[in-house]
């Protein structure tokens, strides 16, 4: 592989359809999906991707059936318990980003403790977006900025830099490649600000089947893109 994206973002979708196609309950898809994430983390670390940002639970996903939401909360907690040691051994710097305070105290505590433990690691930066909404993030950023400005009483004009520097992702470069599994051609409130110039890759493959080979295909596709950032093709050559 020639051109490796610095930052890969993934909308991990299709767990329910994967399970349904096998006559299984939706939660079976979520369970196997956790294995796909594990494999993608491994592959990204191997090939030199520096940032991997995955959409695990949206601000809209609370509207799902109660049983499914509570299964997902349990899966998050179990996955943290099961994987933190090996992530640490592999030098992964882990972050959970989103409105974490809306989770139970127990889950919130687990997320914060695992982040603290892995925060000094210098390998792959893994960002897990939970109770995350792109709109909520922009609202939170602007509110934070307004509060700071009130304290200072100066220059009240907002700029792109000021918004960027107040997002949850403030010290994380924008994604180069955005992958969505399971066919849907939509963003579903993910990283609205940050994907302004991301290369988009949508595959029919359901998330539980998205493993090493599928990730390689996405990265190969990225390698063949010409990123112009508003310029002409001639200017890029
Ligand atoms: C993605 O898979 C996982 C979450 C949104 C938590 P889905 O559960 O959305 O699977 P589909 O889209 O119903 O197949
Ligand atoms: C997006 O998937 C959220 C996550 C992958 C966590 P959804 O399945 O919730 O998206 P929609 O509802 O089909 O747009
Ligand atoms: Mg879905």
Domain residue extents for the chain: 7-225
- Give the pLDDT band of residue 28 (cuts 50, 70, 90): very high
Q: Average pLDDT for residues 87-99, to the nearest whole number?
A: 98
pLDDT in tens, 140-187: 999 999 999 887 766 678 999 999 999 999 999 999 999 999 999 999
Q: Average pLDDT for residues 15-21, to the nearest whole number?
A: 98
Question: Percent of the chain having pLDDT more than 70?
Answer: 98
Single pTM value for the model: 0.97
Is the shortest distance between the CB of 13 and ligand 2 below 6 Å?
Answer: yes
180 assigned to a ligand binding site: yes
Computed over every residue of the chain, the mean pLDDT equals 97
pLDDT for residue 1: 63
pLDDT for residue 237: 85
- Give the pLDDT band of residue 136 (cuts 50, 70, 90): very high
Report which bound ligand comes closest to the CA of 179.
Answer: 2
Domain 7-225 has CATH 1.10.10.10: no
Q: Average pLDDT for residues 5-27, to the nearest whole number?
A: 98
Report which bound ligand comes closest to the CA of 15.
Answer: 1
64 assigned to a ligand binding site: yes
Catalytic residues, by residue number, are: 13, 61
pLDDT for residue 155: 67
Q: Average pLDDT for residues 101-111, to the nearest whole number?
A: 98
User: What gap in Å lies between CA 126 and CA 3, rounded to an integer?
Assistant: 20
pLDDT for residue 150: 84
pLDDT for residue 113: 98
Q: Average pLDDT for residues 20-45, to the nearest whole number?
A: 98
Is the shortest distance between the CB of 53 and ligand 2 below 6 Å?
Answer: no
Q: Average pLDDT for residues 180-204, to the nearest whole number?
A: 98
pLDDT in tens, 42-60: 999 999 999 999 999 999 9
pLDDT for residue 164: 98
Q: How far is the CA of 5 from the centre of ligand 1 (A)?
A: 25
pLDDT in tens, 211-232: 999 999 999 999 999 999 999 9
């Amino acid at each position: 592989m020639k051109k490796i994206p610095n930052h890969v973002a993934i909308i991990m979708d299709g767990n329910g359809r994967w399970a349904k196609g096998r006559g299984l309950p939706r939660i079976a898809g979520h369970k196997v999906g956790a294995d796909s994430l594990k494999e993608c983390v491994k592959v990204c670390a191997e090939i030199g991707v520096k940032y991997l940002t995955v959409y695990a639970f949206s601000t809209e996903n609370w509207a799902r059936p109660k049983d499914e939401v509570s299964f997902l909360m349990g899966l998050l907690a179990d996955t943290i318990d099961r994987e933190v040691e090996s992530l640490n051994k592999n030098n992964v710097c882990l972050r959970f980003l989103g409105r974490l305070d809306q989770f139970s105290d127990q889950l919130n505590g687990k997320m914060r403790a695992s982040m603290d433990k892995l925060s000094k690691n210098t390998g792959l930066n893994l960002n897990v977006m939970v109770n995350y909404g792109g709109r909520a993030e922009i609202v939170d950023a602007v509110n934070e900025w307004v509060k700071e400005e009130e304290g200072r009483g100066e220059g009240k004009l907002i700029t792109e830099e000021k918004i960027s520097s107040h997002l949850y992702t403030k010290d994380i470069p924008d994604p180069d490649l955005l992958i969505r599994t399971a066919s849907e051609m939509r963003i579903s409130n993910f990283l609205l600000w940050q994907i302004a110039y991301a290369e988009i890759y949508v595959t029919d493959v359901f998330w539980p089947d998205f493993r090493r080979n599928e990730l390689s295909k996405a990265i190969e596709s990225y390698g063949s893109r010409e990123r112009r950032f508003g310029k002409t093709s001639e200017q890029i050559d």
